[in-house]
Every structure is written in structure tokens, then in C-alpha cells.
Structure 1
Amino acid sequence: MAWKMLAETAPLDRVWMAFPLECFSMGDRPEETYAAWTGVAHAASAFVSVTMVVDPSESARAERMLGSHIERVTAPLDDFWMRDMGPTFVVDDERPGVLGAVDWTYNGWGAQHWARWSNDREIGRFVGRQTDAEIVSSLLVNEGGAIHSDGEGTLLVTETVQLDPQRNPYADKESIEAEFARTLGAEKVIWLPRGLTRDYEDLGTRGHVDMVAAFPSPGHILLHDQRNSDHPDHAVTRALKGFLSEQTDARGRTFDIIDLPAPEVQRDDDGYVDFNYVNHLVANDGIIACGFGEPAADAYAAGILGEQYGGKTVVTLDARPIMSRGGGIHCITQQQPTIVA
């Protein structure tokens, strides 16, 4: 077997999501959460089939809000961030037509004190079986938002996630890279030193890479650019740009780094925010992008995304209800590639 994680620009068969339910992530405005998650599902369904995993307690609401064109399957849930608890889909270079589903070990983003995961840790295997994929089991504690592949053997990760002592206390870079080679076909792992500042607070993931960088195509990196010198991520993003400018990919290419400026909003009631446009979903001919109620900044970011993804249609949605709960549009979706026999 030669498993390989494709680029997120590869043709998709469907996108997987999880319907919200009452838990810590819900916050104190539940209707806002339901509306944001279902809004992403409806927007993505214009470009790709969408399947929503629904906890039995939310079946009636899901049917009402999703309608008939969003497929639903039922399974017990603890939370609703599908990118992280769901499987990472892979293909087998040696067996055309075979889909694999990497079932990472999941422990609530490094055993966060507020997290529950007795149900969510089963979702990777559950979703994989729904697709008739071969289950690729892994003992590595990892989440889908913590990795980004260029589809040609290069993987972006952060040191503070995979090397987190509350995730993988006995692992080192060498053993983690070997596991990424086995499960994802990674030939070169680029270890960013960290993620965004807010991501290390209570609702954070301790540095998910999908909040800071993405591959729009091999040899190119979209990088979050915080230009406000008062914001703590100003120094972070400049350090990351300097680091990435000295790296090469699995094919030996240096990177063309495309700055994706942060939105103008800088703070909320809890301090500096990590709002960004990097955290988007590529859905066949569409891009479902985060917006922040800033027409000029949102449009500028959409223009960059459209250009970098070869003219795909960019649909911008208000992502503030999602970001305020700890992530973005990429974090609540997981892509399943189309398999050609």
C-alpha cells in the first residue's frame, strides 16, 4: 500500500460536516451557531455533495434547517468540528480506485479541560465506513486542521501541535514524520514553530496550521499577514514568513509566499482575535471563504483567493460566529476526494 493525501484542490466527491449540538463550543448564542454551520453546508452544496453527521438529539432541527439536499447520517457526537475529529482521506497510488480514511487518535485537542471526546473519537472510523474506505488506523494524536498537504509529498505542520506533550508525550519529529509518511505519503514535513496567538488560549488548538497557512498549489503558500504592529501576531506572521522563505518542498522548490492580509477587526471582548482568510474550504469549482463584515477587506481577500485558485468562484460567508468559537470554515468541513478506478 502507498497511501497519499491529495491536495485540497483535487476533485471532491463530497464534504463532511457535523451538525451543532449543546456543548462547550456552542457558546451562549446557540441559534447563531446553528445558522453559521448550516450556512456553510448550503453554500458548499452548490459545488459538491455535503453530508452532515447529526447527533440523535438534533435530528428534528437538522431536518428542518438542512432540507432535503443535504444528506444526513446519525451518530453520537460530543462536539461539531469535523475537520479535527473526522478522518483524513487518502488514496492508494498502487491500487487505483481505492479510498483510505486515516483514523487519527483523537483526544479533544490535547485533552483540553472543557473538551469531551468519548463519542468524537469514533467519528473518523464511522465516517470512513460510510464511504466504504479502508480504515488506516493511527496511534498518533492528530487533527485534520493540524496538517496541510500540497498533494506532492509536502506537509505543513506546527511543532506545538504534534509535539504537544498532552497529545504525543513520547513522540519526536523523526517518529512523527515516519507516521506521516506511512499514512499520508509525506516525503517532506515542514515544521512551523507555532501558530497564531489566540490559538493558545482556552478555546484554542495550540497552533493549528490551517489558521495560518495553506497550499493553493504546489510551490505556493498562502500566509496570514497581520499588519498591525500592536497585534501579537504581527511578530508571529513575520517570523513565519522568514522561516518559510528559507524552506523548500519535497521537490526542492523554494516557496512563492502570498500574503493574505488579516481583516481590519483586531479585537473582541476577550482581546486580540485570530480572524483570518487562510481558513477556507476548496470545494471543486468553488471556494467557501471567511468574511468578517468588512466589504473592502473581504473583497480584497476573495480576489486573492480567486486568483490563486485559478478563477474558482469565491463565496464569502460571515465567519465571525465560527471564529468566535475557536476556528473557521476549514475547521468545520472535511473533504472526500473523488476516486477514479
Structure 2
Amino acid sequence: MTTRNQEGAPAGACHDTPAAQGFAMPAEFAPHDACWMLWPQRPDNWRYGAKPAQQAFIEVATAIAESETVFVGVNDDQYENARVQLPDHIRVVELSSNDAWMRDVGPTFLTHPDGRLAMVDWEFNAWGGLDGGLYFPWDKDRRIRTKIAEMLGVARFTVPVMLEGGAIHVDGEGTLITTEECLLNANRNPDLTKAQMERVLRESLGVETIIWIPRGCYRDETDGHVDNLACFVAPGEVVLTWCDAPDDPQYAISREALDVLESAIDARGRSLKVHKLPQPGPLYIAEDEASGIDRLSHSHPRQPGDRMAGSYVNFYIGNEVVVMPLLDPQRDDQAREMLQGLFPTRRVVGVPAREILLGGGNIHCITQQQPRCR
């Protein structure tokens, strides 16, 4: 693996990798200094000029801002609109993007025992490039990590591997979960073997044990991001989206994942405790929801009747709150009660999130935590 430091000087030797320097990716449930988001505005992805989606993003940002600083990056032509709509205590910064998926285009933050903050700058090709990618171009998205590193004045390790933040989850104690469907997809890194990808993850994120789940959620257009299927809620504990209907394609996917997780041993030698979180729906795009979207040849189509990859696992763990998507009135309360039991020291806040799901993701996908450092 080749890495470069913030100044851009080549650093090909193994001792220059983030892990060799003592950096590691902390768990999302560890303390944060801030959360980063982006402002939605793509008319070919968000209906009606993204106005309904903007309201959902505002609710997510407001809920997270109860216990940590929230930065919202905005393109210049939407800056004034975003500044007027967002609460005053949310920091609006000019940070141009092609779309609003900060989890995937933003930094993967690292911390060091001595208190330093750093980040990994992966490659990005809009979830597949010209082979199944969701839009073109992605040039503004590709510059976001560099800009945030400049804003914060932190070290940036560039890793020439295609990887999105939603493709990985860590427990902060040496264990990472991901899916083969995404990280080993030919439209990401066709020349990397599984063993080579594991080496990249260990050297870049300071993890030791990598648990591979075969597939992500059914019809997940990111090619199976793990953050829509399963995530760590504590060391040794994972929540998994669950389906009890045998005729639903998600049924087999969830059981396959359960088999992997229950047979895995983490970096500390523990077996994992798996909590089953029922999926909403199934959920489908309605006729009126498919209208109001610009139809462009270079963007992912959204058609009436298309199934959406709805999941309650796609939540954000804040310092004092857990912000979860409200997606199905028949199951929202059950999901909220279960999450409250898993996070007894945090308040679970439900936010109506169907508008975010209509764009292809959810709350975890539009947020990126900046871990606390000294």
C-alpha cells in the first residue's frame, strides 16, 4: 500500500502507514468533537429541487447538534438558502459537492494515543464509476476530504484504493466488519485480492480482525454497504437488520449474515452478540415520489414501484443521542424501543427519513463523525 502525508511527499515504506504510526479508527460510539454533513440539491436525485430532502436533513442536523457541533457543507449557490433554513448553532461552510453522501465522500477519521487527529483519503468513483456508478461526474466529491483536512489542519493519508465510509464499521478495539459484495466488487478495485484488501484495511485503519459478510441489504444501490445491514453498538455487540418473511430476498441475506457474525471471533477473542433489528416495510417508491426528478442519462433512475433498501440499522450514534430513521409506522416504535435498550445512556431520536431513503441512503449515509481528540 502506498500512502502520502499531508504535504504530499511519497511515503511508500510500511512504517509510514497510519497504523504503523499509531493511528487507528475509533468506534462511532466513542466520543465525538463534531459531525459533518452535506446539503442536498441534485435535481436528478432529489425530487422537487431537493426541498423535501432539505427539510429531512435539517431535522437530522438539529437532532445531532443537541450534543455535538454539526458542520453542513454547502455549494455556493445554495449557501444562503441553507444558512437561513438551518438553526444558527449549526455551522454552515462552503464545501462544494456533487451530492450529499458525506459518509462515503468525507474523511475516515483516525486518532492517535497522543491526542492527534488524522484522516484517510480514499479514492471515490460514485459507487462503481462507469460500471454501475450512480452519477457522473464526482470531481467535487473527490476534493472534499482534502478541503476538510485543510480546514482542520490535520494529517491526511491518501490511500489509492476505492472505498466508501459506509462500507466499513469498526468496534474501536481492532475489529472491522464489511461485505464482500462491496469491497471485492470488480467496479471498485478489480486488481486487489481479498488478502490485499485486508492488508489495506489493517494498515490504514489500525484493525486486526476483519469479518466478511457476503452480501449487503437487498437492492442496496451502493453494492451492499455494511452500514445498511449491520453495525457495532458496543465492543462485542452488533445489530443486524432482520427479516422473518421467507419469500422476501432479505430473509436469506440476513440469515447468511447472522451465521457469519455468530461464528466470528473478534480481535479481543470474543464471540459476537447479535441483536436482530426488524426491517421496515418492504418499502417501494410511489408514483408521486418518482415524479419531480430530472431525468438525466448520467444519473441513477428512480421509477415507481422500485423497492428501496430501507433499514433501521442506518442510524447515527451521537454523543448523547442516537438519531434513527422513521420509515414504517407499523415498526418504527418497535425499532426505537430496541435501540433505546441498546443505548441506555443516550436518547433515541426518530426523524422522518423517507425523503432521504428516496435519494438512495439514510441517516448514517449522510453523516460522518469527527472523533474527539486532545
The TM-score with structure 1 as length reference comes to 0.94
Amino acid at match of 2:332: D
| Residue 330 of structure 1 pairs with residue 347 of structure 2 | no
Q: Which moved more, 1:240-249 or 1:49-58?
A: 240-249
Pair 1:297–1:29, CA change in 2 (3 A): farther
Equivalent residue for 2:222? 205
Cα deviation, residue 168, structure 1: 0.5
| Residue 291 of structure 1 pairs with residue 320 of structure 2 | no
Cα deviation, residue 233, structure 1: 0.5
Q: Please state whether the residue corresponding to 1:14 is helix, strand or coil.
A: strand
Distance in 2 separating the partners of 1:326 and 1:273: 8
Distance in 1 separating the partners of 2:29 and 2:134: 35
Pair 1:90–1:113, CA change in 2 (3 A): closer
Distance in 2 separating the partners of 1:297 and 1:216: 20
- Mapping 1:158-237, distance limit 5 Å: 158-199=179-220, 204-237=221-254
Distance in 2 separating the partners of 1:162 and 1:205: 11
Cα deviation, residue 23, structure 1: 4.5
Equivalent residue for 2:315? 280
Equivalent residue for 2:264? 247
Equivalent residue for 1:53? 73
CA contact (8 A) 2:128 2:188 kept: yes
- Structure 2 unaligned residues grouped into runs of 5+: 1-20, 286-303
Distance in 2 separating the partners of 1:260 and 1:217: 15
| Residue 97 of structure 1 pairs with residue 115 of structure 2 | yes
Pair 1:54–1:266, CA change in 2 (3 A): closer
Distance in 2 separating the partners of 1:77 and 1:27: 18
Pair 1:231–1:5, CA change in 2 (3 A): same
Q: Deviations over 1:230-281 (max 9, x none)?
A: 3211111111111211111111211111000112444444343321110100
Equivalent residue for 2:278? 261
Amino acid at match of 2:174: G
CA RMSD of aligned residues (A): 1.5
What percent identity do the matched residue pairs reach? 35
Pair 1:113–1:41, CA change in 2 (3 A): closer
Distance in 1 separating the partners of 2:72 and 2:308: 28
Cα deviation, residue 65, structure 1: 0.9
Amino acid at match of 1:69: H
Amino acid at match of 2:116: V
- Mapping 1:59-70, distance limit 5 Å: 59-70=79-90
Q: Deviations over 1:3-61 (max 9, x none)?
A: 11101111110000001122532234621111111111111111211001111111111
Equivalent residue for 2:34? 14
- Structure 1 unaligned residues grouped into runs of 5+: none
Amino acid at match of 1:276: S
Amino acid at match of 1:298: D
Distance in 1 separating the partners of 2:327 and 2:50: 19
The TM-score with structure 2 as length reference comes to 0.86
CA contact (8 A) 1:227 1:262 kept: no
Distance in 2 separating the partners of 1:56 and 1:239: 45
The one of 346, 353, 373 equivalent to 1:312 is 346
The one of 154, 164, 168 equivalent to 1:143 is 164
Amino acid at match of 2:229: V
Indicate the structure (1 or 2) with the bigger Cα radius of gyration.
2
Q: Please state whether the residue corresponding to 1:240 is helix, strand or coil.
A: helix
Cα deviation, residue 162, structure 1: 1.4
CA contact (8 A) 1:177 1:186 kept: no
Q: Please state whether the residue corresponding to 2:331 is helix, strand or coil.
A: helix
Distance in 2 separating the partners of 1:178 and 1:159: 15
Q: Which moved more, 1:205-214 or 1:111-120?
A: 111-120
Equivalent residue for 1:301? 335
Q: Please state whether the residue corresponding to 1:25 is helix, strand or coil.
A: coil
Pair 1:326–1:249, CA change in 2 (3 A): same
Cα deviation, residue 174, structure 1: 1.4
CA contact (8 A) 2:282 2:307 kept: no
Q: Please state whether the residue corresponding to 1:109 is helix, strand or coil.
A: coil
Q: Please state whether the residue corresponding to 2:45 is helix, strand or coil.
A: helix
